[in-house]
Amino acid sequence: MRRTIQRLDSPPPLHKTVQDEIRHYITAHELRPGDPLMPEAELARLFGVSRNSVREAVKALESTGVLETRRGSGVFVKDFSFAPLLENLPYGLMRGPRALADLVALRKALESAMIGDAMRALTPASIAELRAALETMREHAERGESSAEADREFHRLLFADLGNEMLLTLFDLFWVAYHRAAPAVPHRDPADIHHSHAAILDAVLSGDPDRARDAVHQHYLGIEERVSEATD
């Protein structure tokens, strides 16, 4: 039988391969933020490529926050940051009608999954701050005003006592990205926003994780409905 000839996939660009090798080099040598990277010429010899390929790879890794160039000093490993992702995520969310809905669904899943642990870690001080944020929402609702920042702080406080900075950063990243990318999403009645968050806090203080998860779900269902209206 005659063998079918299949088209071979094109190999990745050389500078992309060099990016992967630099990442592997950083991991293998356990370089920490602030540690210097080997000079371009030495990396080129190590990888067996041109200095131009190394230079392109370094520029790409700078754009994603892996490396930073200090004039007159060289290239250094950069501390991890969500900033590059934050800068590009809103643009990515506007690329298709499903992206924003997917982001909301992801945050709903994360908050629902973590709310039980958050309840057990919640301190009296954080409870007092949650009540203060809720009171701010109520005052804004009475004036018919948006309470976006109080909303943002409320969700941060719910999970702050877990001590998971990456989780808090990720939640805040989602919040900022959503508000940047969703100007066309219909605004929710400020009174509804207050009531939704009051239901979450009541459920959390009840000590019933199932009730708290349901309150979080109901809160995000309202957001998902508004996103659906904007993308239909």
* Sign of the CA dihedral running 156, 158, 160, 163: negative
Burial of 41 (0-12, 13-18, 19+ CB in 10 A): exposed
Decide which of 1.20.120.530, 3.30.565.60, 3.30.70.2860, 3.30.565.10 is the CATH code for 84-231: 1.20.120.530
Q: What is the pLDDT of residues 9-35, one digit of tens each?
A: 556 678 788 999 999 999 999 999 999
Confidence of residue 8 (pLDDT cuts 50, 70, 90): very low
Please give the class, per CATH, of domain 14-77. Answer: mainly alpha
- Name residue 14's amino acid: L
Q: What is the pLDDT of residue 156?
A: 94
Q: What is the pLDDT of residue 225?
A: 78
* Sign of the CA dihedral running 214, 219, 220, 224: positive
Residue, of 198 and 64, whose pLDDT is higher: 198
Residue, of 127 and 180, whose pLDDT is higher: 127
The ranges assigned to domains in the chain are 14-77, 84-231
Q: What is the pLDDT of residues 127-164, one digit of tens each?
A: 999 999 999 999 999 998 888 899 999 999 999 999 99
Structure tokens at 146: 């948006």
CA-to-CA distance for 211 and 151, rounded, in angstroms?
Answer: 20
